[in-house]
Amino acid sequence: LVREDVGLEDFIDVVVGNRIYIPCLYAYNKIDAITIEEVDRIAREDHTIVVSIEKDMNMDAFKESIWRSLDLLQVYTKRHSEYPDFSDGLILRTGATVEEACRAVHKSLLDTFKYAL
């Protein structure tokens, strides 16, 4: 029993069940070459970011969209009695544990690890 309008691809997905869909982010470059109305239309689509790399337009939003789409965060480490170095951090998935952060630094760190704040 089908209760909605489905296409052939949707039907095959249900019957075969071997497809995995992953999220994506559509990045449209060269927005400086089209009209503002066209840019606005494209930008309103789901999972879409519009940029102009040549003119450095919307690049910060593009970077933020990538971080958000990949569900990443940056963790900064520091030694006891020192300030953290904010120029270089560990990149981990959101929800990563302290154990995973230790392994990202070095596999032997977990053996000597004492505490985290």
- How much is the pLDDT for 102? 83
Structure tokens at 72: 């990443």
Give the 3-state secondary structure of residue 33. Answer: helix
In this prediction, residues 83-93 reach a mean pLDDT of 85
* pLDDT level of residue 9 (50, 70, 90 thresholds): confident
> Distance between CA 19 and CA 38 in Å, rounded?
33
Helix ranges (H only) for the chain are 8-16, 36-43, 59-70, 98-105, 109-112
Q: Tell the residue number behind the tokens 């990045």, with chain if given.
A: 27
Q: What is the pLDDT of residues 36-79, one digit of tens each?
A: 999 999 999 989 999 999 999 999 999 999 998 888 988 888 87
In the predicted model, is pLDDT for residue 116 greater than 80? no
In the predicted model, is pLDDT for residue 1 greater than 70? no
Cβ atoms of 90 and 104 closer than 8 Å:
yes
* pLDDT level of residue 14 (50, 70, 90 thresholds): confident
- How much is the pLDDT for 15? 79
Q: What is the pLDDT of residues 18-41, one digit of tens each?
A: 777 778 899 999 999 999 999 999
